[in-house]
Structure 1
Amino acid sequence: MSTTGAHVPDDGAGGRTGSGWWWWPRRRSLAFDATLAAVSALECAFEGATFAQKTGIATTLGAFVGLMVGTVLLLRRRWPVAVVLVGIAVSPAQMGFLLSLVGLYTLAASEVPRRITVALASMNGFGTMLVAFLTFEDGMRDSGGTSMALPLTLIVSALMAFGLTAPPVLLGLYARARRRLVESLRERADGLERELELLAEKAQERAERARADERTRIAREMHDVVAHRVSLMVVHAAALKAVALKDPQKASASAELLGDMGRQALTELRQMLGVLRTASETGAAGAPLPAAAAAAVVTSVVAAVGAEEDDGPCLAQLAELVEESVAAGMGVVLAVEGESRPCGPRIEATVYRVVQEALTNVHKHAAGAKARVLLAYREAEVAVLITNGPSDGSAPTRLPSGGHGLLGMRERVSSHGGGFAAGPTPEGGFRVSAMIPLQAAIT
C-alpha cells in the first residue's frame, strides 16, 4: 500500500476525499486548506528569513524557501506522509510550526497504517526535542548566562517535544476512530433499512396471498350456502308447475316451502355479504393498502369468516337438511353410527357442508335417484358417506354447474387434515366420502 498517496478524510472542514476539486471533495475544503497553507507560508517565510540572517544566507532566499515549504500544506489530504516528512526536514531551521501540527493531525486521521504514523510521530518528536535542546544551550551561551544542567535541559526539551507532537496525533487518532464509528453506524443503518424494505415486501406478498386465499374461501362459502337453497328452490318450482292445476293444496304447500327456502337463502347470503362489507370498509375502497393495513384487513376477514363457521350449521341439523331434500321429492335416508358427541363447530360445519353439496349434486345430476347419508362417530375421527343410485329416468333439473363443488369439498376437508374421496359406483351412481380427525377440533 502506498503511504504517500493515501486518501485522507477531511478534518472537519469538509467531507471525505473523493470526486470534486482535485483531491478536495468540496469548495469549502479547498478554501480551508488554502487558508492554512497561506498562514503556514507566511509563518515559514518569516522563520526562513530569520534563520537566513543567523546563518549569513540571503534573507530573500530564506524567505522564498520558507514560502515554498509552507505551501506544502496544500497537499496534506493527498500526501500526508510527505507533509510530515517536510516538517521533520525543516525542523532544524526552526520553521514549520503550523505545518508540523496540521501534518501530524492529518496523518493520524488518515488511513495510513498506524505503525507508520507512530514512526513518523516519533521522528518528529525526537527532532523537535533535539532542536529545543540545542536552542536552549545556544540561548544560554549567547546571553552569557550559566547553562542549565543537562538532565533539566533534556526534561524541558522532552516535555516541549511531547506537547507539540502528542496532542495533534491523539486528536487525529480520535477523529479517525470517530469517523470509522460513524461509517459503521451508517452501514448498519443502511443494512437495517434494506432489511426493513425486504420485510415490508414479504409482508405485502403474504398479505396478497392471504387476500387471494380468503377470496377463494369466501367464494366457496357462498357457493355452499346459496347453491343448495337455490337448487331446492328450482326443484320445488318445477314440481309446483306440475301440480299447480291438478292439486292446488299441494301446490300451495310447495309455494310456502319455496318461500321459506328463499328467505333462508337470503338470510345466509346477507350474512356472507356482511363479511365482505366489513372487509371493504376496513381499507380504502380501491386503494392499495400498505403491508400492515393489508394484514389487518385480512385478519378481520379471517376473524369474520371464522365467526361464521363457529356459528354455522352443526351435525344436529343434518336431519333438517335431509328433510328439505325429501320435501323436494328425493328419497334420502340418514343413518348414524356410533355415539353422537360434539366434534367442534368448524368440523361439524365442514361435515354439514359436504353433505349439503353432495345432496345438491344429486338434485343437479341424478334426478329421481335415491340417496343415503351415513354419519359415523369413531374414536379419533368423524366420517360421512353419501351415496346415490342412478337416475330413474326423470327429466333432469336444469341447474347451472360451475364444477367447483367437489373441489370446494376437498379443500374444506383438507384444511382440517382429513381425507376426501369422490367417484362413480359400480351400480351407476355416485359416492362422496370424507374423514376428519377429531384432533383438528382442538384449538
Structure 2
Amino acid sequence: MPSPTRPPAPAASPSAARTRRGTPRPAPHRPARPWFASAVARLRTANPYAVDAALAALVLFATSLQWIFPDEGGERLSPQGWLLGAATAVPLIWRRRAPFTTACAVSVATTAQGIHHAPPPDIMYGGLVVLHATAALSTPGQRRLMLVGWLTGVSVTMHHKEGTDPYEYAFQLLSVVCAYALGVLARVQRAYAAELEDRARRLERERTAGTERARAQERARIARDMHDILAHAVSLMVVQAEAGPVVVRSDPARAEAAFDAIATTGRDAMTQLRRILGVLKEEPGVGAARRLPQPQVAALAELVRQVGESAGLRTELRARGEPRPLAPDTEVAAYRVVQEALTNTVKHAYASSAVVELDWTEDALTVTVTDDGRGPAAGADGGHGLIGIRERAGSCGGVAEAGRGPDGGFRVVVRLPAADGRQAALG
C-alpha cells in the first residue's frame, strides 16, 4: 500500500530566508521625541554665541516689522528710530557674558526709542529678553535695580504716548513682571539642577570611598589571617625540624612523630590558606559551601593541644562562666588572638608552659594567654604580632593589652564583646 504523501512545504519568503541566513532583524520602532523637547535639547548643546546671535537677529526682525508696517495712519520708521531699534537687539549677543551691561544698554536704547521717536514700540522685545537674562544671571542687587528701572521706564514711556488706555498700560507692566518672573524661575531651576548634580557627584564619591575602605579593610583582614596562619605553622614546623635531627638516632619514634607533626602542620596551614584565598578567587565548580568554616572559639581546645604536642610546651585551657554567642568576626578574632599569642610564646618566649583562660561574662569574653618565659625587653612595644592582635580586637569592638605578667613571663589580655540574640541570629 503506498504511503500517504505529505503536502509540499510552503516556499519561504526572501525576507525569511535572509533572516535565517543571519541577516540582522530591523531594530524595533521607538517613538520619536516631541519636537519641542528635541529642539530644547539641541539648543542646550549648541554654541551659546550662535544662539544669542540668532536671538538678536530675531528681535531686530520683529522690531523692524513693527516700524516698517505701522498701523493705519501711523508714522513710518525713521533712520534714527531704526538705529535705536537695532540698539535694542544687537547687544543681546553678549547677554550671557555681561547680562547687566547688556541690560543697561538695551534699557537706554528702548527708553530713547519710546520717547523721541513716535510712535513708541508696542512690544519691547529686546527689553523682555534682557529682563529675563538679568533675572536669571545677575546678582541680587542688579536684578532689583533692573526691575525697578524697567517699571519706571515703562511708566515714563507710556506717559509720553498719546491715547494710552489702562489696558495697554497694564499689558506693558505685566510683560515686564512676567519676563522677570520667568528669569527667576530659570535661575532657580538651574540652581536646583546644579545642586542635584553636585549631590550625585558627592554620593558617587562617597560610594567610591566606601568601596575603597571596604576593600582596604578586607585586604587588611586577609593579611592578618595569612600572617597568623603562616607564623603559627612555620613556628611549629621550625621547632619540630630542630628537634628531629637531635633525636633521630637516640629516639627514632620521637623523630618520626616530629616529622609527622611537621607534615600535619603544613597540611593544616595549606587548608586554611586555601579557605582564606577562596574569597578572592572562586574556582569553577567550587562554591562557598565546599569551603571549610572559619575557626571558632570551640576549636581553641584542639589548637592548645596541638601547640603543646608540637612545641613541647605544657599547655592548659581554662574556662570560667557560661559561654555566650559571639558574632562571627568575634569568633574568628578570639581564635586568631590565641593562635598569635601562642605563636609568640613558641618563637620568642623560650617558655616551658602556657595557659589560655576564657572568662565569660554577661556581655563580653575575656581571653588571657600567659606564659612563663622571658618577658619583653624594657620599653618594647611589641612587634607585628602584637599589633595584629590589637587590630583584630579593635575591628570587632574589643580592646587588647600585652605586657609582663604579674609573676613574670608575658601576658596577653583581650576583651571581646558578646553578641545579643538578634546579632547572633543575623550571624
Q: TM-score range by the shorter chain?
A: 0.5 to 0.7
Who is 1:87 aligned against? 114
Q: Which residue is 2:32 aligned to?
A: none
Question: How high is the TM-score relative to the length of structure 1?
Answer: 0.64
Q: Distance in 2 between matches of 1:32 and 1:341?
A: 82
More helix by share: 1
- Residues 315-354 of structure 1: pairs in structure 2 closer than 5 A: 315-328=297-310, 329-354=312-337
Aligned-partner Cα distance in 2 for 1:422–1:33? 83
Residue aligned with 1:246, SS: coil
User: Which whole-Å CA distance do the structure 2 matches of 1:404 and 1:277 have between them?
Assistant: 27
Which amino acid in 2 is paired with 1:325?
V
What does residue 11 of structure 1 align with? none
TM-score (norm 2): 0.66
Aligned equivalent of 2:28: none
Q: Which amino acid aligns with 2:398?
A: G
Verify the 8 A CA contact 1:387 1:431 in the aligned structure 2: yes
Question: Does 2:346 match 1:363?
Answer: yes
Aligned to 1:385: 368
Partner of 2:417: 437
Q: 2:205 aligns with which of 201, 207, 217?
A: 201
Structure 2, unaligned runs of 5 or more: 1-42, 90-104, 132-145, 375-381
1:29 is displaced (CA, Å) by 4.1
Residue aligning to 1:246: 250
Task: Report the CA distance between 1:376 and its aligned residue.
Answer: 1.9
CA contact (8 A) 1:346 1:441 kept: no
Q: Aligned pair count? A: 337
Distance 1:425 1:82 in 2: 94
Which of residues 112, 120, 123 is equivalent to 2:154?
120
Cα distance in 1, alignment partners of residues 81 and 325 from structure 2: 98
Are 2:238 and 1:234 aligned? yes
Note the residue ranges of structure 1 that are not aligned, 5 or more in a row.
1-13, 52-62, 131-157, 282-303, 392-401
Distance in 1 between residues matched to 2:362 and 2:67, nearest whole Å = 100
Q: Is the 8 A contact 1:371 1:386 kept in 2?
A: yes
What corresponds to 1:397 in structure 2? none
Residue type of the alignment partner of 1:213: Q
**Aligned-pair distance for 1:171?**
4.6
Structure 1 counterpart SS, 2:299: helix
Shift of 1:277: 2.4
Change (3 A) 1:32 1:314: closer
Which residue number corresponds to residue 139 of structure 2? none
Residues 101-153 of structure 1 deviation map (CA, whole Å, 9 limit, x = unaligned): 133x54455434258537735862784426xxxxxxxxxxxxxxxxxxxxxxx
Deviations 1:274-325 (A, max 9, x none): 12225x99xxxxxxxxxxxxxxxxxxxxxx9xxx9x9322222222111112
Give the aligned residue type for 2:87. L
Is 2:399 the partner of 1:416? no
Distance 1:45 1:171 in 2: 21
Give the 5 Å matches for 1:101-116: 101-103=122-124, 105-107=125-127, 110-111=130-131, 112-113=146-147, 116=150
Tell whether the 8 Å contact from 1:384 to 1:434 is kept in structure 2 after alignment: yes
Please tell me the residue identity of whatever aligns with 2:414: A
User: Is the 8 Å Cα contact of residues 343 and 441 (structure 1) preserved in structure 2?
Assistant: no
Deviation (angstroms), 1:269: 0.3
Distance, in Å, in 2 between the alignment partners of 1:350 and 1:405 is 13
- Distance of 1:377 and 1:336 partners within structure 2: 8
- Secondary structure of the 1:222 match is helix
2:188 to 184, 197, 208: 184
| Shift, 1:441, TM fit | 7.7
Task: State the Cα distance separating 1:361 from its structure 2 match.
Answer: 0.7
Match of 1:57 in 2: none
Tell me how far apart the structure 1 counterparts of residues 351 and 81 of structure 2 sit (CA, whole Å): 113
- Asked if structure 1 preserves the Cα contact closer than 8 Å seen for 2:364 and 2:417, the reply is yes
Using the alignment, how far apart are the partners of 1:167 and 1:30 within structure 2?
23
CA contact (8 A) 2:158 2:169 kept: yes
The residue type equivalent to 2:372 in the other structure is: G
> SS in structure 2 opposite 1:102?
coil
Deviations along 1:17-39, one digit per CA (max 9) or x if unpaired, are xx97xxx9844344334444544
CA-based RMSD: 3.8
In our comparison, the structure showing a higher alpha carbon Rg is 1
Residue in structure 2 matched with residue 31 of structure 1 by the alignment: 57
Residue equivalent to 1:139: none
